[in-house]
Structure 1
Amino acid sequence: MGRALSVSLWQDTLGEPVSPRRPLPGPASYDVAVVGAGYTGLWTAYYLRRADPRLRIAVLEAEHAGFGASGRNGGWCSALFPTSWSRLVAASSPAEALRLHRTMAGTVEEVGRVCAEEGIDAGFVRGGTVTLARSGPQVTRLRAELAEAHGRGFTAEDLRWLDAGEAADVLVARDVRGALFTPHCARIHPARLVRGLARVVEAAGVDVFEQTPVRELLPRAVRTDAGTVTADVVVRATEGWTARLPGARRAVAPVYSLMVATEPLPPSAWDRIGLAGRATFTDGRHVIVYGQRTADDRIAFGGRGAPYHLGSRIEPRFDAEPAVFAMLRDTLRDLLPGLGADVAFTHAWGGPLGIARDWAASVGLDRRTGLAWAGGYVGDGVGTSNLAGRTLADLVTGRDSDLVTLPWVGHRSRRWEPEPLRWLGINAGLRAMRLADAEEHRTGRPSVVARAMSPLVHG
């Protein structure tokens, strides 16, 4: 796949060299073969091993554990679930949709529990998320979101409104008129989490093979350059890289998200900025942005806006988009006046995340073929992948748990359109969201563009 051109903050502050493990030596046979050593694959191996220590499990990774989105993301372990409420209800019921969201809230706590139990120093701090409203249209949208959430059965303990003063107690930002706050999110160091998981599952007896590209997934078999691995169950845990597998180019679209990070900030800067409780933060704009205060007192800040590449291509050079990096730095300076104009930015990096055509995450097991899968997280994979791993473990072992009946289990997303329609549609949606933010800034009213494009960008 080739190495990334830019070094992420997370890799640079990992505290250990990333030395690849041994590759697959040759043809082999296992009970479960997991393709991909990111969060989904490693959580699956972790919970499978705990459920049945007799299982022979292999994890096959083309690069090294955490090479993809699991090692590069924004570090939000949140209860956010990408599938729309209406789609979940259509597949089940309002009660089941609420149960899934409640399970996601518990998943945040589960990740923290495992980190503590297994000694994974991932910087887990459950400080919640603050979503700032910085314009009239943003206030309208976020107030409506709050009303909808409470109408669906959530309470103020899940999501509540902060007035401008209360919001400033969390984060001092420019032009804030109010905010939403949820406690269901933890800040993490994503690379330490994924590398720690790899060590834990390997110590438990799982074979983790790196530098082992998988060329094809077959019923109960995986084809690699070193030979074929047969297994009763084959788990596809490749997320944004799924499009590289034969027959899966239109299954998931790899869309890039980019990040920047500041130098460590002194206590005086944090006195001006806030984030004493380590809340993650965003605002109500259409183009998604996300930030956190890191364990070493930097701000790591990311956002969408990089283009989708024709044919679902993934290349190391796509990790770096200078114009997007500049936009992120300018956006953060504008958002946080306490940051100071002279703050240095030390890191800039990026990578692809996976989006299914209907923007719906899914997990499942086809018992006829032995092929299992999870993904389509739309950037909300830190927490969702843990739920996926627990669910796959129950599906594989045949455990009749509450997880295997959640409404995302067994969902099949339709395929993306063929090229160039896919390229045109995705990039038109990205551009429309930028135009929508500009329109709202200019008019002070909710965007007509965003309303018109909503069916396209949400499947």
Structure 2
Amino acid sequence: MKGIPLTTDFANGGVSFWYRQIGLPDRRAALPGARSYDVVIVGGGYTGLWTAYYLKKAQPDLRIAILEREFAGFGASGRNGGWLSAEFAGSRKRYAAARGREAMISLQQAMFRSVDEVIGVTREEGIEADIHKGGLIHVATNPAQRRRLHEELSELRTWGYGEDDLRLMSRDEQRERVQVAGTLEATYSPHCARIQPAKLAVGLASVVASLGVDIFENTTVTEIRPRSAGGQASAVTSRGVVSAEYVIRATEGFTASLAGQHRQWLPMNSSMIVTEPLPAEVWKHIGWSGSELLGDEAHAYIYAQRTADDRIAIGGRGVPYRYGSRTDDRGATQAQTVALLWRMLVKLFPAAADSHVQHSWCGVLGVPRDWCSTVHLDHSTGLGWAGGYVGSGVTTTNLAGRTLRDLVLRRDTELTALPWVGRQVRQWEPEPLRWTGVQLIYALFRSADRHENDRGTTTSAYARLANLISGR
């Protein structure tokens, strides 16, 4: 495997490159014992941090605590691909079935605005996160992918995407922006920005703490309980029970670790590698001077960015799921997954073939049974949640935080009327059906990609079967 040194850099113990670049943050104190608050948030990732931020900004006297098992930003928030994107997980038709087509269009428009909302907050609060709004390019590298690209563009036109939101690129423009080998056609959307995920998480946590939110780290929540007669909702930890008027679950891919939540959201694994900084001679061949985010139309798709220090970071599913909804907290990446991602990188960017992989890592994201993200708050039980972002959470978490703010404060707003609010779906199947199903789905997706790369001109029947089994 040329270009992949099997060194301690390669076997890095699972810390994401983003944290390797800036260093792990000093851990905050753990919960000192039983406490009472107005709002308790379980999970110190983007969802929890944004929710606390907007609640505290709206009502500074609220007593808010965040309970985090590791440190704020430890999970997907500090491990993701750095896409501040307006893409939204789930079936638009399913959302529209809940509250109508116009409501789904409103949700998409809210996602467009949320990209700029995050950028605006980082500027206002002095958070430096290597943000560059260069847009998003999706490439098709075989005839079947090109057909899907056109079909998706036509479909999105009916869901609020105008010509200024998403368009086909001319061949000259595509080549001028970034040289991706084998590209037959590409689309461009301006609604996406590159970020350094850990910088955003660490910076946001610092701002939230400065507003007076108590962030307790090294504090494991084992159970979330609804209000009882005359009592409050609560989060149970080994260090004491924390009660509040509202307890918000913001645990995303780690939700299965909570009592009674084992089948709620499936923890899906995603992996990444990053190269060493590439020399100017390589970038002459690749281009990519606009630092657009990059994805493809494969079923086992990739996501990539040119980092602020001139590396290529690329990710994909790898080993998608571990039996029994187990999660690898340390984020170690299997060698075969690194090799797969490397082959994808070199296929797309042959000019980078002589570079080295400097780091690899993985993390988990949350997948609901219908693959649709959700925000919910039950005033009768005092329990709420947001998540199930299926890998599209960097921007969606911001929208979720503002929506939870309005729900907690009992505001009737445009955000609380969006069709992902109040959505509840059935649980995932018990084992071994869950593990067998996920393995089959991704085996079919990989077979579909191989078939389409070899000779397919339309979407493979393997992929259609995988989508049917998955319930997407």
Please indicate, yes or no, whether the TM-score normalized by the shorter chain is above 0.5.
yes
Q: Deviations over 1:171-226 (max 9, x none)?
A: 10111111011111110000000111100000010000000000110111111111
1:82 is aligned, of 85, 89, 113, to: 89
SS in 1 for 2:372: coil
Q: Which residue of 2 aligns with 1:186?
A: 193
Q: Quote how far apart the aligned CAs of 1:309 are.
A: 1.1
Looking at structure 2, the residues matched to 319 and 428 of structure 1 have their Cα atoms a distance apart, in angstroms, of 23
Q: Distance in 1 between matches of 2:375 and 2:211?
A: 24
Does 1:225 find its partner at 2:238? yes
The match for 2:100 is 93
Q: Is the 8 A contact 2:104 2:159 kept in 1?
A: no
Distance 1:186 1:317 in 2: 28
User: After the TM superposition, which residues 1-400 of structure 1 pair with which residues of structure 2 at under 5 Å, given as runs?
Assistant: 5-14=13-22, 16-219=23-226, 220-316=233-329, 319-339=332-352, 341-400=353-412
Cα distance in 2 between the residues matched to 1:353 and 1:149: 25
Instruction: Please state how far the C-alpha of 1:268 moved relative to its aligned partner.
Output: 2.2
Q: Quote the residue 1:408 is aligned against.
A: 420
What is the deviation of 1:317? 6.2
Distance 1:250 1:167 in 2: 43
Whether the aligned pair in 1 keeps the contact of 2:15 and 2:331 (CA below 8 Å) is no
CA contact (8 A) 2:79 2:363 kept: yes
Letter in 1 for 2:312: I
Secondary structure at the aligned position of 1:347 is classed as: strand
Long gaps (5+) in structure 2: 1-11, 227-232
Kindly indicate whether the alpha-carbon contact (under 8 Å) linking 1:10 and 1:72 is maintained by their aligned counterparts in 2: yes
SS state at 1:404 partner: coil
Distance 2:268 2:331 in 1: 10
1 CA distance for matches of 2:134 and 2:39? 36
Q: In structure 1, what residue type is equivalent to 2:162?
A: T
Q: Supply the distance in 1 between the matched residues of 2:35 and 2:250 (Cα, whole angstroms).
A: 19
Q: Distance in 2 between matches of 1:452 and 1:316?
A: 32
CA contact (8 A) 1:305 1:430 kept: no
CA distance in 2, matches of 1:5, 1:352: 16
Residue 12 of structure 1 aligns with an amino acid whose one-letter code is: R
Match in the other structure for 2:7: none
Q: 1:443 aligns with which of 450, 455, 458?
A: 455
Runs of 5+ in structure 1 lacking a partner? none
Counterparts of 2:123 and 2:331, CA distance in 1: 36
Find the aligned partners of 1:126 and 1:84 in 2 and give their Cα distance.
26
Q: CA shift at 1:441, angstroms?
A: 1.2
Contact preservation (8 Å) 2:34, 2:242: yes
After superposition, give the CA deviation of every residue in 1:61-81 in whole Å (9 maximum; x if it has no partner): 000011100000000010111
Q: Work out the CA distance in 1 between the residues paired with 2:320 and 2:250.
A: 24
Aligned to 2:4: none
Contact 2:331 2:361 in 1 (8 A): no
Paired residue secondary structure (2:187): strand
Q: In structure 2, the residue corresponding to 1:99 is in which secondary structure?
A: helix
Runs of 4+ in structure 1 off by over 4 angstroms are none
Q: Distance in 2 between matches of 1:82 and 1:297?
A: 29
2:172 partner letter? G
> Is the 1:258–1:319 contact (alpha carbons within 8 Å) kept by the matching residues of 2?
no
Rounded Cα–Cα distance in structure 2 between residues aligned with 1:151 and 1:26: 53
Letter in 2 for 1:428: L
Q: Distance in 1 between matches of 2:162 and 2:249?
A: 36
Tell me, what secondary structure is at the counterpart of 2:363?
A: strand
Query: Percent of aligned pairs with the same residue?
Result: 48
Q: How far apart are residue 413 of structure 1 and its match?
A: 1.8
| Aligned amino acid, residue 177 of structure 2 | V
TM-score, normalised to structure 2, is: 0.94
- Output the CA distance in 2 between the equivalents of 1:444 and 1:166: 27
AA of the residue aligned to 1:395: L
**Number of matched residues?**
454
Task: For residue 439 of structure 2, give the secondary structure of its aligned residue in structure 1.
Answer: helix
1:382-412 per-residue CA deviation (whole Å, 9 max, x = no partner) reads 0000000000011001122110010000000
Measured at CA, do residues 317 and 123 of structure 1 come closer, stay the same or move farther in structure 2, by a change above 3 Å?
A: closer
Q: Distance in 1 between matches of 2:414 and 2:98?
A: 16
- 1:409-450 per-position Cα deviation (integer Å, ceiling 9, x unaligned): 000021000111011111111111101000111223221111
Q: How far apart are 1:154 and its partner, in Å? A: 1.9
TM-score by length of 1: 0.97
Name the CA distance, whole Å, in 2 between partners of 1:429 and 1:317: 26
Aligned 8 A contact 2:41 2:67 in 1 = yes
Aligned counterparts of 1:197 and 1:316: Cα–Cα separation in 2: 22
Q: CA deviation at 1:277?
A: 1.0
